[in-house]
Amino acid sequence: MTLTSKFTTLGAAALVATTGLVAPAFAEDVTIDLWSRADRSGPLRPGNIVAAAEQLNRAFEAAGSDTRVVVNLIETNAKGFDADALNLLKAHSVGETPDIIVAAHEWIGSFVEAGLAANLEGHIAANEAMYADIIPNLWNSVMYKGERYGIPQDSEVRMFFVNNDILRSAGKDEAFIAALPGKVEAGEFTMYDWCDLAAEAVESGAAKYGWVHRPNVGPDFQMAMASFGIDIYNEDEAKLQITKSGLENYYDWLGYCVNNGSLPADMTTWTWDSTHAAFRGGESMGKFHGIWNVGKQLDAFGLDGKEAYFDKLTWIHAPAGEKGGQPKNLSHPIVYVVGDTENKELAALLVAMASQHVPNTAHAVGTNHTPINYGQIAMPEFQEKGWALIAGTPMLKYAEFMPNHAKIGQYNAITYTGVQAVETGEMTPAEATEMVIEELEIELGDDVIILD
């Protein structure tokens, strides 16, 4: 019996468990290899697949089938998702391809090119009801050359945090504070307005620092780049790209922020501890980072619950680079990838089951991640414990995603050298742009397109 015919019969066996029909019985175990990092912060990423298999086995039992799904969990000790992906590619190269993989979405392109990832378009279309409520923009994170090769496992949102008390001390009234998110979404409040507001907070004595950003290379800067019209990925050619004019505009803005006193010139020499302390200690008006900071912010500011939190802090997208533009933020989903193996149909079914509202909510609320399905925010667990996640979910409308390209890490590292050069005053924005463009061409070669 082929996998397809066996899976069809197994699927029928699961179905009849709810209809009372008699199913044919098979005395056979089907082993699904599940590859995942040993990640204490997200144990339900693999755990929900294991639970889905247990649910399916109960359906087989109720249908009178002896078939059982056995999940073989391959937990790796990789320090991060990049190292884990490289280990996975090595395993695949010697024929050890798992059926399901928990991965950072930007590796999908490499997995497809290596022949590791199964195309899931047919599976998604055949199981439309199971995926109908997924937040549409999240599908962009699993696309490669126009088709989907993964299922979003969780989501997040990275945004600009604003200390309302500092704004009040700087003379801003409640109407100004309440209107700020709407002005950002309307393109009325720009990135330059952000730096001017932060500089005003410093000049008034309300803040020691105007705003802070991450002190090292990382994806957060992508949302600021996107605000200046920089689209870093060409989906048709599956290549990274950069616009020279957009890059210079981005560096111009950073230079402006340093020169007007809103951004520390030595920001790229700070530690993460000092960066967090500047905002959580009430010294900085603003910071851009991720929604997972909420818990630490509640503790640091001594806040209790939603009302107190949003009285103290406001969230905004990265504003548009110029009036009338569109704001941006960033999401970095972890995804399920189905290996292109003989068990891919059954593996995809387990992924679909693990992606439903109840199991995903258990993961999301427990790890401070925004949901993958809109309907999750109405669930009791979200309503009780996930008020911050509910508040962050509408922001995903403007989310950007890292490209599904193996060299995005190198790309980010190179463009970050320009950030360092401009903020420290070592180079003008124009000089930094030339340096970065040259390095991108040298290091990435045919993997990057220079647009102008």
pLDDT for 177-202, tens place per residue?
A: 999 999 999 999 999 999 999 999 99
Same domain, 129 and 168: no
Q: Is residue 182 part of a domain?
A: yes
Q: How many domains does the chain have?
A: 2
Distances (CA, A) of 407 to 171, 411, 449: 46, 6, 13
Strand positions, DSSP E, 340-438:
399-400
- Please say if the pLDDT value at position 49 is more than 50: yes
Question: Per the structure block, which two tokens stand in for 227?
Answer: 């605000």
Residue 169 clears pLDDT 50, i.e. is over it: yes
The verdict on 13 and 34 lying in the same domain is yes
pLDDT at 264 over 80: yes
All residues at 6 or more sequence positions from 424 whose CB lies less than 8 Å from its CB, including other chains: 265, 266, 268
In this predicted model, what pLDDT tens digit does every residue of 373-414 receive, in sequence order? 999 999 999 998 889 999 999 998 899 999 999 889 899 999
Least confident of 142-146, 254-258, 434-438: 142-146
Residue 424, domain member (yes or no): yes
The answer to whether residue 394 is domain-embedded is no
Task: Let me know whether 197 and 304 are in one domain.
Answer: yes
Token code pair at residue 101 = 């993989």
- Burial of 44-80, coded b for 16+ CB within 10 Å and e otherwise, reads bbbbbbbbbbebbbebbeebebebbbebebbeeebee
- Which pLDDT value is given to residue 409? 87
Q: How confident is the model at residue 368 (pLDDT cuts 50, 70, 90)?
A: confident
CB 387 within 8 A of CB 291: no
CA 308 to chain centre: 27
Residue that terminates a domain, selected from 321, 353, 369: 369
Q: Mean pLDDT across the chain, nearest whole number?
A: 92
Average pLDDT over residues 232-245: 92
| Mean pLDDT on 109-113 | 94
- In angstroms, rounded to a whole number, what is the distance separating the alpha carbons of residues 130 and 108? 22
Residue 385 is predicted with a pLDDT of 86
The pLDDT assigned to 1 comes to: 33
pLDDT band at 27 (very low <50, low <70, confident <90, very high): low
Using CA atoms, how far residue 93 sits from 74, 267, 317, in Å, is 17, 42, 41
Least confident stretch, 3-7, 48-52, 299-303, 307-311: 3-7
Q: What local confidence, expressed as pLDDT, does residue 5 receive?
A: 37
Domain boundary pick from 369, 397, 420: 369
pLDDT for the residue 361? 96
Q: Tell me, what's the pLDDT at 16?
A: 39
The answer to whether residue 205 scores a pLDDT higher than 80 is yes
Q: Rounded CA gap, 130 and 357, in Å?
A: 10
- 39 pLDDT more than 90: no
Q: Do residues 41 and 107 both lie within one domain?
A: yes
Residue 75 lies in a domain: yes
**pTM, rounded to two decimals:** 0.86
* Secondary element (H or E) of residue 199: helix 191-203
According to DSSP, residue 282 is labeled T
DSSP conformation letters of 60-123: HHHTT---EEEEEEEEE--SSHHHHHHHHHHHHHTT---SEEEEEGGGHHHHHHTT-BPP-HHH
Q: Are residues 166 and 249 in the same domain?
A: yes
DSSP 8-state class, residue 155 = B
pLDDT at 68: 92
| Structural domain span for residue 228 | 158-330+405-450
255 and 168 inside one domain? yes
Which of 90-94, 207-211, 383-387 is least confident? 383-387
Residue 209 — pLDDT band, cuts 50, 70, 90? very high
Q: Are residue 109 and residue 60 in the same domain, yes or no?
A: yes
In this structure, is residue 365 part of a structural domain?
yes
Is residue 258 located within the same domain as residue 140?
no
Residues 114-130, mean pLDDT to the nearest whole number: 96
Residues 162 and 291 in one domain: yes
396 within a domain of the structure (yes/no): no
CATH code assigned at 174? 3.40.190.10
In 3D space, the residue among 417, 443, 413, 450 whose CA is nearest the CA of residue 431 turns out to be: 417
- Asked whether residue 13 carries a pLDDT value surpassing 70, the answer given is no
By percentage, how much of the chain surpasses pLDDT 70?
Answer: 94
Same domain, 321 and 337: no
Is residue 77 situated within a structural domain? Answer: yes
Whether 432 and 316 map to the same domain: the answer is: yes
Q: Is the pLDDT of residue 12 over 80?
A: no
Residue 375 belongs to some domain of the structure: no
Return the higher-pLDDT residue of 237 and 7: 237
- Do 9 and 57 lie in one domain? The reply is yes
**Arithmetic mean of pLDDT, 38-62:** 92
**Is the distance from CB of 60 to CB of 70 less than 8 angstroms?**
no
Does residue 74 carry a pLDDT above 80? yes
For residue 206, pLDDT over 90 is answered with yes
The helix (H) or strand (E) run that includes residue 385 is helix 380-385
* Residue 267, pLDDT score: 97
